[in-house]
Structure 1
């Protein structure tokens, strides 16, 4: 049975626009705590960036990779994650885990500098963890 353009098979009119991603709802949401998963991820990221500024890039790389892991876990187990839901759950978790692993490997593979410049602070993040 052929359907008229802009109508479903049962005769109802199709809704215009795009569909929300899985786990997404109205931006107004049910209350002020709707975006708590994104706030947790942004808080972890701010802590990692402060660590990068104050202590060194290796520790910050581990924390940024951990931030990706936190985002992947939230996307996997929390049903309404707000702005963390971009594509399907499988795609979001896969991309977050891939980027987390990439940041971790790249951050830990950067060698010590060949030239010691006196105006560049010596903050490699190798204090205490042996990295």
Structure 2
């Protein structure tokens, strides 16, 4: 099976394993920190951090020629997937109740139309 484009090691082969996969470890660390914050009732910031981690992953996938295990499919597919999921999670975190930081009236009307 062929390796995805950009799926080579992010560091030289003689580097220790964590250094070779630093892009994936960075994204996973941000997601882990976001989940810990969410567990300790800092929900909005934790969820926002998870979305930002996916956007960081998209940026790394676009910018670096080799990202190790962060490369799953083609560069285009990874960019679209990471970006769409990151943006959706960030927007939902900003709309979290109570006292949302972002209000989108058309979504409010849609919710009331489907629930009522």
- When the two structures are superposed, what TM-score results if normalisation uses the length of structure 1? 0.65
Runs of 5+ consecutive residues of structure 1 not aligned to the other structure: 1-17, 113-125
Secondary structure of 1:46's aligned partner: helix
CA distance in 1, matches of 2:54, 2:3: 23
- Map 1:1-131 → 2, pairs under 5 A: 18-25=1-8, 30=13, 31-32=15-16, 33-112=19-98, 131=101
What is the RMSD computed on CA atoms of the aligned residues?
2.0
- When the two structures are superposed, what TM-score results if normalisation uses the length of structure 2? 0.72
The alpha carbon displacement at 1:55 in A equals 3.9
The alpha carbon displacement at 1:95 in A equals 0.7
CA distance in 2, matches of 1:40, 1:110: 26
Which stretches of structure 1, 4 residues or more, deviate above 6 A after TM superposition? none
Q: Rg bigger for which structure?
A: 1
The alpha carbon displacement at 1:69 in A equals 1.0
CA distance in 2, matches of 1:38, 1:101: 19
CA distance in 2, matches of 1:53, 1:20: 36
Q: Which moved more, 1:65-74 or 1:100-109?
A: 100-109
**Which residue of the partner structure matches residue 7 of structure 1?**
none
